[in-house]
């Protein structure tokens, strides 16, 4: 499962990058830990990081299920699209834009994959396809 593991590692790197962006924003805008409110620029960076960890709760197990149902390459492709969506979201939201195409890309693809994995799994167990 090298593609699946690669996607998982990439997702962890994206998350670590989001955490670093929050640390940078803390310093730049004078928001000492453990505070989570302050300058709007800090709050956007913090919210983008928090939203990413919230999305990972669905992404990580779904990545594994996609690998089991469709194989390593398909799961890796899903993971890559999710990571690209997260990077786009973190960058645009941190700069002040509302939810962006990046959010829809990562959240939308996860919802689509979730539905497709469930349908594929059920059909296989019913002996269809």
- Mean pLDDT, residues 41-61: 96
Residue 94 has pLDDT above 80, yes or no: yes
Q: Which residues of 58-97 are buried (b: 16+ CB within 10 A; e: fewer)?
A: bbeebbebbbebbebeebbebbebbbbbbbbbbebbbeee
Q: Where are the domains of the chain?
A: 2-125
Query: What is the Cα gyration radius of the chain?
Result: 17
pLDDT bucket at 48, cuts 50 / 70 / 90 = very high
76 contacts 3 by C-beta, under 8 angstroms: yes
Per DSSP, the chain holds a count of helices (H) and strands (E) of 4, 0
**What pTM value is reported for the model?**
0.91
What is residue 113's predicted lDDT score, i.e. its pLDDT?
93
What is residue 102's predicted lDDT score, i.e. its pLDDT?
86
Which CATH entry fits the domain spanning 2-125: 3.40.50.300, 1.20.120.550, 1.10.1740.10, 3.40.640.10? 1.20.120.550
Residue 87 has pLDDT above 70, yes or no: yes
């Amino acid at each position: 499962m090298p593609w699946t593991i690669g996607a998982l590692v990439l997702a962890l790197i994206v998350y670590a990058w989001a955490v670093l962006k929050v640390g940078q924003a803390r310093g730049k805008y004078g928001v000492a830990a453990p505070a989570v409110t302050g300058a709007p620029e800090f709050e956007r960076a913090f919210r983008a990081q928090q939203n990413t960890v919230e999305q990972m709760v669905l992404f990580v197990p779904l990545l594994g299920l996609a690998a089991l149902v469709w194989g390593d390459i398909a799961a890796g492709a899903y993971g890559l699209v999710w990571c690209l969506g997260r990077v786009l979201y973190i960058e645009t939201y941190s700069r002040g834009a509302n939810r962006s195409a990046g959010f829809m890309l990562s959240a939308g693809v996860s919802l689509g994959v979730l539905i497709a994995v469930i349908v594929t799994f059920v059909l296989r167990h019913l002996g269809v396809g």
